[in-house]
Amino acid sequence: MSDDERDEKELDLTSPDVVTKYKSAAEIANKALQLVISECKPKVKIVDICEKGDSFIREQTGNMYKNVKKKIERGVAFPTCISVNNTVCHFSPLASDETVLEEGDILKIDLACHIDGFIAAVAHTHVLQEGPVTGRAADVIAAANTAAEVALRLVRPGKKNQDVTDAIQKVAAAYDCRIVEGVLSHQMKQFVIDANKVVLNVSNPDTRVDDAEFEENEVYAIDIVASTGEGKPKLLDEKQTTIYKRAVDRSYNLKMKASRFIYSEISQNFPIMPFSARALEEKRARLGLVECMNHELLQPYPVLHEKSGDYVAHIKFTVLLMPNGSDRITSHSLQEIQPTKTVDDPEIKAWLALGVKTKKKGGGKKKKGKKVTEGEAEADPMDTTNGAGAATQEQN
């Protein structure tokens, strides 16, 4: 086997080193999420909290692999976003933005970390209040969380992406909510946050994806957004867009000096991963990004909105499809929720009762303690008695 072939082989989960890097990135992402939640208080500026999340990831990843011969890239894989109430996603404002949090806000916190290009992504919904979350806000959180739990059990080798699409829409309907259109769950690979295999969250004649079957040793970011509204978010203000990713297959000779300066900075500091314009010099960025966008050198992550008054919830986690079952490596437990709906559908209950981890075929070493039979969950199946609210796994 040549060195190139050996390097290629070591890029998936068959390599213990790769698994370690994913889990190290996940540990940092989980801690960053915990930090961001703890900083979310009324009258605090959103940009300040986003910056703390990004700084924590940069600091923690910077402490790893410092003494290795080969330089290992590491850091923020997706900038910290805090999208409030009917804002669906990608709100990560510039330093000059004065937007603050308010009591009762529903916050969607989204971030990702990578070590050597192996990405751990996570998103969580948190309501800024004391005591249990009730009413429609609780319904939409339960809808997103339960759909994510079902997806965890259906994203497994041998299953198809369409199986997941149909299931999560059925779950949302059980809570009288909708899965938001345009959100995709992506396979992830080294340095690739959105690989070719995807799960379309909502079947739509305008959006088609290739049929795909999940395979062992793949990694996915399961990304679920639910809404009490129509689930058809809109771009209200292009100026709110601050997150971009370099389009590596595009090239163009930029005319403006500011554009060339900014694009050079982006290429040097953010060659592959999404980044926030907050990391660029703001005045130059404002000028330069426009020309870069006009010639499709950058892919934008627009800030989308449901209608005012609608509630939106977001749950995302990273899952490794290991030989012994699915290993969810990023998550955060929900605060107490009391949804108005309960899951009575037998098919949904059957999905939630599926095991996540299975005993490896061929009878490996038995673990001490409780026996695990073939196909049985190592972790308890999800409890649906309280509308699937508090059953999310604790952080790993």
Distance CA 378, CA 360 (A): 12
pLDDT over 90 percentage in the chain: 78
Pairing mode, strands 243-246 and 198-200: unpaired
CB atoms within 10 A of CB 176: 14
Report pLDDT digits (tens) over 81-118. Answer: 999 999 999 999 999 999 999 999 999 999 999 999 99
Closest CA to 152 of 369, 343, 379: 379
Bridge partners, residue 81, by sequence: 110
C-alpha–C-alpha distance, residues 325 and 159, integer Å = 13
The residue-averaged pLDDT of 324-329 equals 96
Q: What is the pLDDT of residue 358?
A: 66
Q: How far apart are CA 74 and CA 100, in angstroms?
A: 30
Least confident of 72-86, 214-228, 249-263: 249-263
Residues 24 and 30: their CA atoms lie apart, in Å, by 10
pLDDT at position 381, please? 62
CB atoms inside a 10 Å sphere around CB 229: 21
pLDDT higher than threshold 80 for residue 47 = yes
Intra-chain end-to-end CA distance of the chain, in Å: 36
197: region left, alpha or beta (phi > 0 left; psi from -120 to 50 alpha): beta
Using one digit for the tens of pLDDT, what is the confidence trace for 159-189? 999 999 999 999 999 999 999 998 999 999 9
Higher pLDDT, 6 or 307: 307
Convert the pLDDT of each residue in 212-225 to its tens digit: 999 999 999 999 99
* H or E stretch at 152: helix 135-154
Whole-prediction pTM: 0.89
Cα–Cα distance for residue pair 72/40, rounded to 1 Å: 32
Beta strand spans in 29-134 (E): 74-84, 87-89, 106-115, 118-127, 133-134
Q: Which residues contact 317 (CB under 8 A, 6 or more apart)?
A: 121, 122, 123, 148, 152, 221, 222, 328, 329, 330, 331
User: Is residue 6 predicted with pLDDT exceeding 80?
Assistant: no
% of the chain at pLDDT higher than 70: 88
